[in-house]
Structure 1
Amino acid sequence: MTNDVIITGAGPNGLMLACELALAGVRPVVLDRLAERSAEQKANGLVGQVIRLLDHRGLYQRLSGAPGAPDPVPRFVFGAFPLDLRQLDGNPLHALPVPQHRIEAALEERARELGVTVRRGFEVTGLTQDDTGVTVDVDGPSGAEQLRARYLVGADGGRSTVRKLAGIGFPGVTSPDPVARIAHVLPPAELRVLDTGEVLLPGCPTPFLPYTHTRTDHGVFLLAPMGPELVMMATLEWSGPPVDESVPPTVDELRASVRRVTGADLALAPASTPGAHTPRRQVGHNTRLAERYREGRVLLVGDAAHVHAATGGPGLNLGLQDAANLGWKLAAELQGWAPPGLLDSYHRERYPIGERVFMHSQAQMALMSPGPAVTALRALFGELLSHQDNLGRIAALMAGSDVRYDTDCPHPLAGGFVPDLPLTTAAGPTRLAEAARSGRALLLDLSEGPTQLAELAAGWKDRVDVLAAGCPQPPAGALLLRPDGYVVWAASPGEADPDGLLRALRTWFGEPASARL
């Protein structure tokens, strides 16, 4: 039996890709080497444009437990600089504090609802590919076996077996510093919370902002209250005492690090609330980017394609949008309507975004490192951040809202992620994000008058939905959206651009159905 797609790795990125493929009518098989979902604490939440993408799929509401649209966060951090985003006109940055195991659970639940098969306890040991597919060697619960698929996607993390077996290089830099330590602990009795919301540690004259990396002369400190009985505490140290990586990290090790970084000696005790609270340690960091995201019928998403420092939480923003970018393109290839080069555009579009995260994660680590030269650089950088334009650029960088894919459409919305718009349709009021829940391409007619748009797009009705709607302040007369939420064509109100629309339909969604018969 030949599967359409095998995805290795049932983490967030692999499961998101599985959902995207299933929405497009492809039923992938997901393999994971673990017998059951990991309870290990990894990412602490979602940051950036990915939250708006999840809103397009109805997954934001599952994860947040709140109806309606996500709101931007008033504050964030970049390189241990607190960012007051309330100053911005049009704050682009969203964040959702939810642990990774909950993200994985929600995505797996959705994948299974869509008919995806998730098989656990299967480890990939080899692969060969030819012109029609990929043969995958696996060790499973019943021993060694071979599986066959038309395409194989590695979503198996930074040490990706699939990437290595496919012969894809993973160049970058490895640094022995800093050493990061993190644990969830009981709130120490010595903490004092000031009326300003800042936290004062014993022996420290300067209070700390919660949820914010704070640079000291000896490292970086982070404290994030997660509830009345739970505090996340973390440190970063450069050139600290030697670490024996064979010894598991402990709360006492974190306590000693907090004392070195802040000067405060806090009585730390493990958290007693349910959840994954095992202390973690990471020695140094890797910043690496796969040479290519595709090798024949093998593709990479998420950490299999890129690893970097976690500062600012860009990992899932990057990886989950990789999955959304790849999903509809791979489905188009499998279903036979993909225009030439569409699947190759996955690497062409996402690789530069990986490079951009590569750049800013390294820049943040440099800005947090100790030393008088860095202190001087931070003084200058702080002055730059006092200007709203610069603050806005950093916020857009962290959100990923500055991403613009190449299109030949001159409209200012073209190439970017579509703004969420209030709409009035024949079925009643809605939001654009709710209208996009099918995961299909969408031609949105906002002209509130008779147009030829539906007629022009009729040949693509098997791939593109058409929706006529009213909008109080329409940013365009019409918009053509890819399934991943990016605008590939737009026309200003009152303008007719039938040639541009037809060109965009062919460029992104192939020939009309009649031409393929």
Structure 2
Amino acid sequence: MHDVVIVGAGPVGLFLACELGLAGCSVLVLEREPAPGSPWRADPLGMRGLPAGSVEAFYRRGMLDPLLTASGVHDAPGPYPEADEPRPPRGVGHLAGMVLDPAKVDLAALPFRLPNPAMDGMLTSLEAIETVLSERASKLGVEIRRGVTVSALTQGDESVVAHAGGHAYAARWLVGCDGGRSAVRGLAGFEFTGSEPLFTGYVMLATVAGPDEWSPGINLTPTGMYLRMPAEGHIGMMDFDGGAFDRSRQPTRDHLQAVLRRVSGTGVTLSDVHRVSSFTDRAMQATTYRLGRVLLAGDAAHIHSPLGGQGLNLGIGDAVNLGWKLAATVQGYAPDGLVDTYTRERHPVGAWVLDWTRAQAAVMRPDPHGQAVQALIRDLLGTRDGTTHVYEKVSGTSIRCDLGGEHPLTGRNAPDFRLGDGTRLGGLLQDGRAVALDFSTDRRLREPAASRLSRLRYAAGTAKNDLGLGAVLVRPDGIVAWADDRDFDRTAFDRAADQWLGGPKT
């Protein structure tokens, strides 16, 4: 019996498998597709914008350089490690099709930001992401079985069994990372609620015969939106038909051409359509991410439109949050209820992303109301405050988990502190342990209790910029569990360590 069975070998399932494998858990990944790779995962159809939060997750596990190589990116997405101050982002993306100006981001207004090699988003592909994660999972002893379709689940008090093709796969825990049409979600009985769509979206690879009168990039029009990608014939578009066409039937060339002409306002001609897929802005979320010994992560837990590129970022955030908590639970040292903090912390983030994409769909509506709101939003995005607010949201810097601490850094993503010897917090997190940083002159933390050393790294010294802090306790997922100013009380640190790291193995 494995410690954990993960259903789904996409980016979320593989990242979670790596987190669990890094902690020493035995992990089996079951994937429905018989082989990795497909045109929908490779360049150009598989191209994705990976937001800063996800890039940072790869950085903190030592996988950023392999990802850059696999993605064909030859320079780091953010500032160089020796930079003293954060640099403006090279791109901020768009809000409801309205492209933002990165020069308008006010970095001074963003809390607790320090320069690091992963402060910017990057372009990559699903294929590149999955290649890097699959190789890492294999090195960590994770087993991946492909061509396996889960058809039933049975739960007991101490285990859960996935049934597939006459085989039974038993584990102490099972996590569904099997996408928006998750079999695990349905088989386990999760409630999935939300809102119905306003539009049908299309992504296609086509041959365009002409005329060449439609604009490159993202184009928000009075009748919808279309995207002319850099790769020739790679096209996206959104048609506000109430989601009527999504997967109800295979879209023909004539239908796609009619939609493209309508939303672009041009006479563009498609001579051939090689591949096409559709989607909607349907926004749904599981009411809980755990039922018994079954958990959900990624699109299995929440679906929404791809507006703003938040889906992949949200799923990887789920995996990073859940991985160390589930590992601690499996290995017997987790504090009571630790695994339940996964739903408590990640469900509100998922709910926010659903609302964020709903708001964008509403702004894009091709009617007088939508047009009026668009004009208002454009005015706001023309200001530093407006652009900074959007950047803070989409980059993840505004996320704060309610951990109950009084310090304003508690519950936030940790800044990438750099010690005097050049050691960076991102490097200290690579082995998946929590980190205690002691900036005090009298080393008030000293070495933590021996019972915690297997899951807590201790680093002391002056920092390039300690933000006025005396010490910080950072969870394995990079969230600050406790922070205090220079005259801190060691007792408060011990309480926080007990709350999140627990005691000796039982």
| Same fold per superposition (TM over 0.5) | yes
Which residue pairs with 2:275 in the alignment? Answer: 278
2:476 equivalent among 461, 483, 487: 483
**Equivalent residue in structure 1 for 2:466, among 474, 480, 494:** 474
Among 418, 440, 454, the residue aligned to 1:422: 418
**AA of the residue aligned to 1:236:** M
Deviations 1:23-53 (A, max 9, x none): 1111210001111124124562312412211
Tell me by how many angstroms 1:173 deviates.
1.7
What residue identity is the alignment partner of 1:304?
Answer: A
2-side partners of 1:420 and 1:269: how far apart? 51
Of 258, 261, 276, which residue of structure 2 is paired with 1:259?
A: 261
Q: Structure 1 residues 311 and 242, CA, compared in 2 at 3 Å: closer, same or farther?
A: closer
Match of 1:465 among 453, 457, 465: 457
Once the two structures are TM-superposed, the CA of residue 258 in structure 1 deviates from its matched residue by: 2.4
| Pairwise CA distance, 1:384 | 2.6
- Identify the range of structure 1 (361-370 vs 245-254) with the bigger mean alpha-carbon deviation: 245-254
In structure 1, runs of 5+ residues without a counterpart are 192-200, 203-207, 272-276
Match of 1:161 among 183, 188, 211: 183
Aligned length: 478
The equivalent position to 2:391 in structure 1, one of 395, 410, 413, is 395
2:366 is paired with a residue whose SS is coil
Aligned-partner Cα distance in 2 for 1:357–1:289? 10
- Tell me how far apart the structure 2 counterparts of residues 115 and 19 of structure 1 sit (CA, whole Å): 9
Q: Which sections of structure 2, spanning at least 5 residues, go unmatched?
A: 80-88, 114-118
Specify the alignment match of 1:59 in structure 2: 63
Tell me the residue number matched to 2:78: 70
TM-aligned CA distance change 1:115 to 1:269, over 3 Å: farther
State the shift of 1:468 in Å.
2.1
Checking the alignment, whether the CA contact within 8 Å between 1:183 and 1:251 is kept in structure 2 is no
Please state how far the C-alpha of 1:472 moved relative to its aligned partner: 1.8
Q: How do 1:290-329 and structure 2 match up within 5 A?
A: 290-329=286-325
Partner of 2:230: 225
Which deviations, in whole Å up to 9, do the C-alpha atoms of 1:340-371 show, x marking residues without a partner? 11110001001101110111110011111101
Q: Which amino acid in 2 is paired with 1:437?
A: Q
SS in 1 for 2:338: coil
User: How far does residue 377 in structure 1 lie from its aligned partner after superposition?
Assistant: 1.4
* Change in 2 beyond 3 A, CA 1:406/1:42: same
CA contact (8 A) 2:46 2:125 kept: yes
Check 1:349–1:42 CA distance in 2 against 1; reply closer, same or farther (3 A cut).
Answer: same
Deviations 1:111-164 (A, max 9, x none): 11111100011111111111111122111xxxx011211001111111111111
Distance 2:374 2:248 in 1: 36
- Percent identity for Structure 1 against Structure 2: 38
CA–CA distance in structure 1, aligned partners of residues 234 and 449 of structure 2:
52
Deviations 1:166-220 (A, max 9, x none): 1111011222x412122245687765xxxxxxxxx36xxxxx5x543x2212111
The answer to whether the Cα contact below 8 Å between 2:77 and 2:120 also exists between their aligned partners in 1 is no
Q: Does the 8 A contact of 2:333 with 2:502 survive in 1?
A: yes
Distance of 1:15 and 1:241 partners within structure 2? 31
Counterpart of 1:181 in structure 2 is: 202
Equivalent residue for 1:194? none
1:253 deviates by: 4.7
Q: Does the C-alpha gap of structure 1 residues 68 and 76 become closer, same or farther in structure 2, counting only changes over 3 Å?
A: closer
1:215 is aligned, of 209, 216, 220, to 220
Is contact 1:81-1:382 (8 Å) kept? Answer: yes
Report the Cα offset of residue 240 of structure 1. Answer: 9.3
Q: 1:248 to 1:59 in 2, by over 3 A?
A: farther
Report how far residue 397 of structure 1 moved.
1.6
Q: Is the 8 A contact 2:448 2:458 kept in 1?
A: no
1:18-33 equivalences under 5 Å are: 18-33=17-32
The Cα shift of 1:95 comes to 2.1
Q: Tell me how far 1:421 sits from its aligned partner.
A: 3.0
Q: CA deviation at 1:279?
A: 2.4
Call closer, same or farther: CA 1:261–1:129 in 2, change over 3 Å.
Answer: same
Cα separation, 1, equivalents of 2:91 and 2:249 = 40
Amino acid at match of 1:442: V
**Aligned match of 1:87:** 104
Structure 1 equivalent of residue 116 of structure 2: none
Residues in 2 aligned to 1:285 and 1:459: alpha-carbon distance in whole angstroms:
49
Partner SS state of residue 453, structure 1 = coil
Shift, 1:269, TM fit:
6.3
- For the residue of structure 1 that corresponds to 2:462, the secondary structure is coil
Structure 1 217/457 Cα, relative in aligned 2: closer, same or farther at 3 Å? same
TM-score normalized by the length of structure 2: 0.88
TM-score after normalising by structure 1: 0.86
| Alpha-carbon distance, 1:479 to partner | 1.4
Alignment-mate amino acid for residue 176 of structure 2: G
Name the CA distance, whole Å, in 2 between partners of 1:223 and 1:190: 14
SS in 2 for 1:403: coil
- The Cα of 1:306 is off from its aligned counterpart by 0.3
The 3-state SS of whatever aligns with 1:491 is: strand
Alignment check: 8 A CA contact 2:177 2:300 kept: yes
Root mean square deviation, CA, Å: 2.5
- Aligned to 1:343, the other structure's residue is in SS state helix
| Partner SS, residue 123 of structure 1 | coil
CA–CA distance in structure 2, aligned partners of residues 312 and 222 of structure 1: 13
Query: Residue 386 of structure 1: CA displacement?
Result: 3.1
* Correspondence for 1:35: 34
Distance 2:236 2:395 in 1: 23
Distance across 2 between alignment mates of 1:384 and 1:240: 28
**Distance across 2 between alignment mates of 1:350 and 1:99:** 25
C-alpha distance in 2, partners of 1:222/1:439? 39
Relative to 1, partners in 2 of residues 1:250 and 1:19: Cα closer, same or farther, differing over 3 Å? farther
C-alpha distance in 2 between matches for 1:38 and 1:148: 27
Q: CA 1:20 to 1:363, structure 2 compared with 1: closer, same or farther past 3 Å?
A: same
CA distance in 2, matches of 1:420, 1:327: 21
The 2-side partners of 1:236 and 1:32 are apart by 30
Distance 1:244 1:479 in 2: 48
134 and 241 in structure 1: CA distance in 2 versus 1, 3 angstrom threshold: closer
Other-structure match for 1:435:
428
Q: Report the Cα distance in structure 1 between the residues aligned to 2:375 and 2:281, rounded to whole angstroms.
A: 25
Paired amino acid for 2:183: T
Structure 2 partner of 1:289: 285
Alpha carbons of structure 1 residues 166 and 387: separation in structure 2 relative to 1, 3 Å? same
What one-letter code is carried by the residue in structure 2 that aligns with 1:488? Answer: A
Kept after mapping to 2: 8 A contact 1:414/1:490: yes
Residue aligning to 1:237: 239
8 Å contact 1:48–1:314 — kept in the other structure?
no
Check conservation: 2:208, 2:268, Cα contact below 8 A: no
